[in-house]
C-alpha cells in the first residue's frame, strides 16, 4: 500500500513512529489540521462550533452559541447530560438503576434547556473525546485564564478531560479559585512509565495477536490513494456511530486526511487478508509524554470483529509502554479494559461562570453535586 510501512517490533512491543513533541508543537499541528477548515466538513454532526484564536494561551479555543442543539457531545454539555446520557443509561444492566438514570437524563435535558448550556467557550478543546493538557498543568493559572475569559465574553467557559487520578491537585486548585468541577464520565488509564498492564495475560495475548497480523504505519500521507481516507472514515463510523452512539463525533474522510498531513495523529492500520483493503485502524495522538486514541475503526461485518478491536487496543497499549507515555483510553468497554490492566478514574470538566450569572452558577453547582453523589458510583459499578 502506497505511503505505508511495516511497524517494527522489539521485545514484544511495537516501535517506530514520530519523534516526541512538546505540547506547544501538538497545538501547532492541531492548528495546521484545522487551518481554514469548515467544521461540519471535518466532523459531520458538529453543527455549531467556531474555532477561535489558535495562538491564545488557552488554545485550542472553541465557541458554541446555539444554546441547545443536538450535535456531537464534544461541544455540547446539553447532549452529554441529555440525549447521550440517556443512551449510556440504557446500557446499565440492573433494572431500577437503568430506569432512574434514563429518567434523570430526560429531566436533565429539559432543565438544562432553560440554562442554555451550549452557549459557552471551551479551552484546550482538541475536538477529541479526550482533550489533551500539558503534563505540568497549573490549576491556579488555568482557573485565572478561564475566569478572565468568562468575564470578558459574558458566557461560561468549559475545560474538559481532567482525570481525577492524574489531575487531583489541579482540580482542587481550580475549585479553590472559584471553578465548578463537574464529573462527566469514567475513563480508563494506563501508565506506560510503570506498565504493570503488560503483565496481564489478556494484554500479552493481544499484543501477540497484533504482531502476527502485521500492522502498517502511515509514513507518507501525500502518497496515499483517496480510497484510503474514505475507508478509514467508514471503519470509524461502523464502530463509533453505528455500534455505539451516533452522538459521538462523526469524523469524515476530510478530517482523516487533514489529521495525517498535519501530523496531528499517527495512523496505524491492519490490512485485509491479501492486502487489498483495510479491516481496522487506530488514529493515535502521541506527544508531550502522553497518548490518547480518538480514532478506532473496525469492520464490524467481519466474522470476528472483537479480534480486530483487540489488535487495535494492543497497539495503543504497546506503544504507550514503549514510549513511557500516560495513555488515557477514554470511556466505555469497562470490563474489556479492566482485564487488560486499565485503571478507572472519574473524569471532570471545570467550569467558570461569569459573576453576573449567579443563578446559572447555582444550577451548575447543584448538577455537579448530584452527578457526584448519584451517577458516578453507578458508572464505576457498571464499568461504563
Confidence at residue 384, expressed as pLDDT on a 0 to 100 scale: 57
Confidence at residue 6, expressed as pLDDT on a 0 to 100 scale: 97
- The answer to whether domain 4-20+191-339 has CATH 1.20.58.110 is no
Q: How many residues does the chain have?
A: 384
Confidence at residue 363, expressed as pLDDT on a 0 to 100 scale: 80
Helix 201-213 with 305-323: angle, nearest 10 deg: 100
Sequence spans of domains, the chain: 4-20+191-339, 23-185+348-382
Confidence at residue 360, expressed as pLDDT on a 0 to 100 scale: 78
Strand ranges in 89-246 using DSSP code E only, listed in sequence order: 120-122, 157-163, 180-191, 216-218
Could you state, in chain order, the average pLDDT of each consecutive group of 10 residues for the chain (384 residues)? 94 93 93 92 93 78 78 84 68 66 64 70 93 91 94 93 95 96 92 97 97 96 96 97 93 98 97 88 94 96 86 97 96 92 94 84 82 75 63
Cα 59 versus chain centre, distance: 17
* Closest residue by Cα to residue 118 from 80, 165, 149, 161: 80
Contact criterion met (CB below 8 Å) for 42 and 258: yes
Burial of 194 from C-beta contacts in 10 A (0-12 / 13-18 / 19+)? exposed
* Closest residue by Cα to residue 192 from 38, 43, 283, 325: 325
Written as nine digits, the cell of 75 is 461541544
Amino acid at each position: 500500500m502506497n505511503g505505508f510501512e511495516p511497524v517494527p517490533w522489539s521485545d514484544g512491543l511495537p516501535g517506530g513512529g514520530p519523534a516526541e513533541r512538546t505540547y506547544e508543537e501538538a497545538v501547532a499541528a492541531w492548528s495546521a489540521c484545522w487551518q481554514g477548515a469548515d467544521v461540519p466538513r471535518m466532523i459531520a454532526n458538529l453543527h455549531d462550533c467556531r474555532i477561535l484564536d489558535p495562538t491564545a494561551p488557552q488554545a485550542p479555543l472553541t465557541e458554541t452559541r446555539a444554546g441547545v442543539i443536538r450535535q456531537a457531545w464534544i461541544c455540547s454539555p446539553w447532549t452529554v447530560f441529555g440525549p447521550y446520557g440517556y443512551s449510556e443509561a440504557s446500557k446499565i444492566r440492573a433494572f431500577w438503576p437503568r430506569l432512574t438514570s434514563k429518567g434523570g437524563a430526560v429531566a436533565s435535558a429539559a432543565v438544562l434547556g432553560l440554562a442554555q448550556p451550549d452557549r459557552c467557550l471551551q479551552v484546550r478543546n482538541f475536538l477529541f473525546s479526550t482533550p489533551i493538557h500539558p503534563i505540568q498543568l497549573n490549576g491556579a493559572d488555568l482557573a485565572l485564564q478561564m475566569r478572565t475569559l468568562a468575564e470578558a465574553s459574558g458566557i461560561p467557559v468549559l475545560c474538559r478531560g481532567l482525570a481525577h487520578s492524574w489531575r487531583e491537585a489541579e482540580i482542587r486548585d481550580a475549585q479553590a479559585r472559584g471553578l465548578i468541577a463537574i464529573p462527566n464520565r469514567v475513563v480508563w488509564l494506563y501508565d506506560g512509565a510503570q506498565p504493570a498492564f503488560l503483565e496481564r495475560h489478556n494484554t500479552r495475548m493481544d499484543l501477540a495477536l497484533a504482531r502476527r497480523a502485521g500492522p502498517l504505519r502511515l509514513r507518507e500521507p501525500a502518497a496515499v490513494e483517496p480510497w484510503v481516507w474514505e475507508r478509514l472514515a467508514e471503519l470509524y463510523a461502523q464502530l463509533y456511530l453505528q455500534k455505539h452512539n451516533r452522538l459521538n463525533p462523526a469524523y469524515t474522510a476530510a478530517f482523516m486526511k487533514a489529521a495525517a498531513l498535519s501530523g496531528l495523529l499517527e495512523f496505524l492500520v491492519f490490512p485485509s487478508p491479501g492486502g487489498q483493503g483495510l479491516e481496522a485502524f487506530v488514529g493515535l495522538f502521541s506527544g508531550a509524554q502522553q497518548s490518547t486514541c480518538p480514532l478506532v475503526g473496525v469492520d464490524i461485518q467481519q466474522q470476528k470483529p472483537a479480534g480486530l478491536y483487540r489488535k487495535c487496543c494492543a497497539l495503543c497499549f504497546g506503544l504507550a509502554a514503549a514510549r513511557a507515555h500516560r495513555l488515557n483510553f477514554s470511556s466505555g468497554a469497562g470490563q474489556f479494559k479492566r482485564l487488560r490492566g486499565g485503571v478507572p478514574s472519574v473524569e471532570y470538566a471545570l467550569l467558570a461562570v461569569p459573576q453576573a450569572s449567579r443563578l446559572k452558577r447555582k444550577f451548575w453547582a447543584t448538577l455537579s453535586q448530584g452527578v457526584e453523589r448519584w451517577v458516578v458510583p453507578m458508572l464505576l459499578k457498571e464499568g461504563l
